[in-house]
Amino acid sequence: GAVVSQHPSRVICKSGTSVKIECRSLDFQATTMFWYRQFPKKSLMLMATSNEGSKATYEQGVEKDKFLINHASLTLSTLTVTSAHPEDSSFYICSATPGGYEQYFGPGTRLTVT
Amino acid sequence: GDSVTQMEGPVTLSEEAFLTINCTYTATGYPSLFWYVQYPGEGLQLLLKATKADDKGSNKGFEATYRKETTSFHLEKGSVQVSDSAVYFCALTIDQGAQKLVFGQGTRLTINP
């Protein structure tokens, strides 16, 4: 149980285009979902926290107009990278929690912007 | 701000060796501490946790003790196996309501047969 999926696992897009990443909790309802970014050999950096039906809370330094987060249902959150640039290339990871301390993580999405 | 520092990797050991991965933290409050493990191609999984000083978390032969006096939460295992090869992340949270995790940089562990 407690499986979180992400789609796609890898995506390559051209500079200036937008790309959407989906995060789904497959067997539980997620009251809260989190989006992280991981740079090579670096730790996971929290980008934003989203609660179903409300606006996401972004961490300091994260551009909310560039990284659009939608948490439309208790099992789905999406991250859209708008007008992507090569510096947005990274590994994006989501997590979800039904409540309590434990977060369940997706396998991540590798974004490459050319 | 709150932060977590892990020992630099990668770490390579032989099977049945003793493992220690160091983790120290800086926090303004009283954090809960976690170790997560990421196996190849999979998402992070909670390995163990400790919520207050002197607590010992344990799972799958791994242990870590919450040491408030040294602000540490070192991960140990007495005899590692090839299947333990993974990336290990130390993390903390002090905001129980928001559940925001602060991660260390991760330590890649490779166990050779």
Check CB contact of B49 with chain A, cutoff 8 Å. Answer: yes
Which among A60, A80, A58 is positioned nearest to A70, based on CA atoms?
Answer: A80
User: Cis ω on the peptide bond leading into residue A8 (within 30° of 0)?
Assistant: yes
* pLDDT value of residue B26: 95
| Cβ–Cβ below 8 Å for A105 and B44 | yes
- The conformation of residue A26, written as its DSSP 8-state character, comes to S
Is pLDDT above 70 for B96?
A: no
Quickly state the pLDDT bin for A102 (edges 50, 70, 90): confident
Do the Cβ atoms of B100 and A43 come within 8 Å?
Answer: no
- A105 CB near a chain B CB, below 8 Å? yes
pLDDT band at B98 (very low <50, low <70, confident <90, very high): low
Q: Reply yes or no on whether the pLDDT at B111 is more than 90.
A: yes
pLDDT digit string (tens) for A3-43? 899 999 999 999 999 999 999 999 999 989 999 998 877 78
Q: How much is the pLDDT for A1?
A: 65
The answer for residues whose C-beta is within 8 angstroms of residue A40's C-beta and 6 or more apart is: none
Which A residues in the span 50-89 are in contact with B, Cβ-Cβ below 8 Å? none
CB within 8 Å: A102 and B46: yes
Helices (H), chain B: none
Nearest CA-CA partner of B29 in B92, B103, B109: B92
SS3 content of chain A, % helix, strand, coil (to 5): 5, 55, 45
- pLDDT per position as a tens digit, B35-78: 999 998 788 899 999 999 999 999 999 999 999 999 999 999 99
Residue B11 structure tokens: 């770490």
Minimum mean pLDDT range among A21-30, A53-62, B81-90, B93-102: B93-102
pLDDT of residue A26: 94
- DSSP H helices, B4-73, are none
Residues 24-43 of A with CB under 8 A from B: 32, 34, 41-43
CA-nearest residue to B40 within chain A is: A107
CA-CA distance, B7 to B80, in Å (whole number)?
18
In the predicted model, is pLDDT for residue B97 greater than 70? Answer: no
Please tell me the distance from the alpha carbon of residue B45 to that of residue A1, in angstroms, as a whole number.
12
What kind and span of H or E run contains B13?
strand B11-14
User: What is the least distance, in Å, from the CA of B91 to any CA of chain A?
Assistant: 10
Please tell me which of the candidates A49, A102, A107 has its beta carbon nearest to residue B42. Answer: A107
Residue B15 DSSP class: T
**Contact check, Cβ <8 Å, A101/B103:** no
Residue A101: per-residue pLDDT: 72
